[in-house]
Amino acid sequence: MGFDQPSLKGRALRLLSGREHSRAELQRKLAQHETEPGELARALDELQAKGFINEQRVVESVLHRRAARLGAARVKQELQAKGLDPQAVAEAVASLQDTEEARARDVWRKKFGVPPQDASDRARQMRFLLARGFSSDVVRRVVRGGATDIDD
């Protein structure tokens, strides 16, 4: 390895400086740079021991960045894609369930703000919210109730 090449630890720290990453994400992104077997695992072990890799911070970061615009199903999908502990993912998603309808209503209000004019408009609004991971029950209530709740 030449001196101009950053170390695996250096590469990992550069990625972590941009945003929180799970160990699985770093493993996936840095595997191609590993020159000897076990080298990457040792670097990641060291970063984890020093607190640079912290799965709870990854969960909190995703919730902070994405929960306002996405439903629980989409957030769950993103957390799972990061290779996080299933229990941590389940707890994070459960915490979103309470605010699901309010968050969906905010997203709907920002995008549309007016009740659907006809069936195709209603379908379009519903598809938009469903694609963002809001549950079908919540989507139906938000789109149906759009006219009645605008003043709250």
Q: Cβ distance 142 to 104 under 8 Å?
A: yes
- With a cut of 70, say whether residue 34 has pLDDT above it: yes
DSSP string spanning 123-149? Answer: HHHHHHHHHTT--HHHHHHHHHHTTTS
pLDDT per residue as tens digits for the range 43-60: 999 999 999 999 999 999
**Confidence band (pLDDT; 50, 70, 90) for 138?**
very high
**C-alpha distances in angstroms, 9 versus 15, 39, 111, 128?**
10, 10, 42, 41
The pLDDT of residue 10:
95
Q: Which 3 state secondary structure label does DSSP give 109?
A: helix
Separation of alpha carbons 105 and 129, rounded Å? 9
60-114 per-position pLDDT tens digit: 999 999 999 999 999 999 999 999 999 999 999 999 999 999 999 999 999 999 9
pLDDT band per the 50, 70, 90 thresholds, residue 4:
low
Q: Is 35 helix (H, G, I), strand (E, B) or coil?
A: coil
pLDDT value of residue 3: 52
Half-sphere exposure of 89 (CA within 13 A, CB side): 15
Q: Which residues contact 5 (CB under 8 A, 6 or more apart)?
A: none
How far apart, in Å, are the Cα atoms of 13 and each of 3, 49, 50? 17, 14, 12
* pLDDT band (50, 70, 90) for residue 6: confident
Which conformational region is residue 51 in: left (phi greater than 0), alpha (psi within -120 to 50 degrees), or beta?
left
Residue range 117-145: average pLDDT? 96
Give percent of the chain with pLDDT exceeding 70: 93
Q: What is the CA radius of gyration of the chain?
A: 21
- The span from the CA of 141 to the CA of 40, in Å, is 49
